[in-house]
Amino acid sequence: MDSYDGLMEIHDPEIDPARIMEEIRGRIQRRREELGYPRQIFPTFGAAAYPGEPEGEDYDIELYFHLRRANETYHQIGVESLIVPSLWSSIPILGPLWDRIRREAHNLVLFYVNKLAQRQATVNRHLVSTLNRMVLQIQEQQRRIQAMEEELCKLREGS
């Protein structure tokens, strides 16, 4: 019994589901090209992890300090209720009513502020992930530049 991507099960040894699926995907791609569909590339999802400080290399300590702190704190937003005591609370009958109105008003504001904070945390995650990926690219570029500089020095010495 063969299975391919969990889409189908084939019990005939003469049939190759991987080849069939490859042929189907090829035909779909050719048809899309014929019709002029734009080629779409979908991103992979998930936060890019903190790359860590480069080992054995000089690096900008301040950059990595701030990047590490951004990775640790990007999701730590939100507001909790903080109601300070009021002089009006001590008034008989009206005091407890006033406290309840204040508490419910605070809760209403907190509800909307925390909804906004959740959206901001999502934006922060994307921004921090972008920074993490950019730092990885910069690290790789730095390694390449250093290798090219070393190669250039060797070529100059050989001339």
Nearest alpha-carbon partner for 17 in 116, 25, 105, 131: 25
The pLDDT confidence band at residue 3, using thresholds 50, 70 and 90, is very low
89 touches 98 (CB < 8 A): yes
Residue 1 banded pLDDT, cuts 50, 70, 90: very low
- For every residue of 53-102, DSSP letters joined together read PPTTS---HHHHHHHHHHHHHTT-----------GGGGSTTHHHHHHHHH
Q: Which residue has the tokens 């006033």?
A: 98
> Which has more pLDDT, 119 or 59?
119
pLDDT tens-digit map of 41-57:
656 556 678 888 888 77
Who's near 125: CB < 8 A, 6+ residues apart? Answer: 47, 74, 75
Confidence at residue 42, expressed as pLDDT on a 0 to 100 scale: 59
The structure tokens listed for 124 are 């922060």
With beta carbons less than 8 A apart as the criterion, state whether 18 and 4 touch: yes
SS3 content of the chain, % helix, strand, coil (to 5): 65, 5, 35
Residue that is written with structure tokens 């990775």 in the block: 71
Mind listing the pLDDT tens digit for each residue in 130-154? 999 999 999 899 899 999 999 999 9
How large a percentage of the chain has pLDDT more than 90?
A: 40
- Maximum alpha-carbon separation in the chain: 97
**What local confidence, expressed as pLDDT, does residue 2 receive?**
45
